[in-house]
Amino acid sequence: MKAAPLTVPDPPDRLTTPDAVPEIVFRGGPGRIDPESIATAEEWVAALVRLKDRTGVSVRDLARATGGSASTIGGYFSGRHLPTTSLTALTLALLECLGVPPEDRPAWIETLARLRRRTATGR
């Protein structure tokens, strides 16, 4: 699933270092988060929120652009649930809309799979 075109402003300079979530590592310039540094579902949510805040788009805009429902997309940002592996195309479209570079997206999907395995096993 390819995301619909979405205009994303340049990230503000304040995103060059993490503030609220120090566990998340920024690399490659302002706003680029190293997904391998994300260790918990809470950190995944914080990273998504940070990316969404950087773009300035609403959950409804993201839902429209990705073809997902606002409830599903909103659940990702509120921490109600993580994206499922059956919705990888939706997750990739969401990452695209949030400005995650194409070369970083596989690492995000792998991080998500790792977090889902950890959640399933309770570790």
DSSP per residue, 39-52:
-SHHHHHHHHHHHH
For residue 1, being part of any structural domain is answered with no
- What is the DSSP secondary structure assignment for residue 101, as one 8-state letter? -
For residue 84, being part of any structural domain is answered with yes
For residue 11, being part of any structural domain is answered with no
Residue 104's pLDDT band, with cuts at 50, 70 and 90, is very high
For residue 14, being part of any structural domain is answered with no
Buried-exposed string 95-112: b where 16+ CB fall within 10 A, e elsewhere: bbbbbbeeebbeebbebb
For residue 12, being part of any structural domain is answered with no
For residue 68, being part of any structural domain is answered with yes
- pLDDT per residue over 30-70, tens digit each? 556 889 889 999 999 999 999 999 889 999 999 999 999 99
pLDDT for position 112 = 94
**Tally of domains in the chain:** 1
pLDDT for position 118 = 81
Q: CA of 12: how far to CAs of 18, 23, 80, 101, in Å?
A: 12, 20, 28, 17
Give me 106's structure tokens.
């596989």
For residue 97, being part of any structural domain is answered with yes
- pLDDT per residue over 58-102, tens digit each? 999 999 999 999 999 999 999 999 998 888 999 999 999 999 999
Quickly tell me which residue has 């998500």 as its tokens. Answer: 112
For residue 13, being part of any structural domain is answered with no
- Give the domain CATH number at 90: 1.10.260.40
Q: CA of 87: how far to CAs of 1, 27, 54, 67, 116, in Å?
A: 10, 27, 24, 11, 13
Contact status, residue 47 vs residue 27, Cβ threshold 8 Å = no
Range of the domain at 117: 21-121
